[in-house]
Amino acid sequence: MRSKGTTVLGDVAIDFDRMELRCGDHLIPATSLEFRLLRFFVDNPKRVYKREELIKAAWTKRKRATSRTVDNFIRQLRLKFEKDPARPLFFLTVHGTGYKFVPSER
């Protein structure tokens, strides 16, 4: 869901222009790579992406990434956005394929 340049996922507001994540008045630390990955997911919801596609979308050529690197970044996003990271609602694993981002329908 977007409002005034901000995307809201659960309790967290994402401001891509300011590169800020906020939960209420609290700023949540995030890396530029996490923002690139978030931007890709927000712009391309509900589709399953292979890890290789996510690497091409978010990682720069000078930074090498593996499928395990992608898994670790998805884990970090789940820790920041999911109420229960073990049972994600936004960043879903599609076993044997990759990941799918499902935005809140609120």
Q: What is the tens place of the pLDDT at every residue in 11-69?
A: 999 999 999 999 989 999 999 999 999 999 999 999 999 999 999 999 887 677 888 89
Query: pLDDT at residue 76 above 90?
Result: yes
Write down the pLDDT at residue 104.
73
Q: Is residue 96 part of a domain?
A: yes
Instruction: Report the distance separating Cα 92 and Cα 38, nearest Å.
Output: 13
- Is 55 a member of any domain? yes
Between CA 41 and CA 11 the distance in angstroms is: 17
* pTM of structure: 0.88
State residue 4's pLDDT score.
Answer: 54
Domain of 38, in residue numbers: 2-101
Do the domain assignments include residue 79? yes
pLDDT at residue number 65 = 84
Domain membership flag for residue 106:
no
In a domain, 44, yes or no: yes
Distances (CA, A) of 10 to 35, 49, 67, 80: 17, 22, 27, 10
Q: At residue 86, does pLDDT exceed 50?
A: yes
CATH number for the domain harbouring residue 26:
1.10.10.10
Number of structural domains found in the chain: 1
Residue 3 pLDDT exceeds 60: no
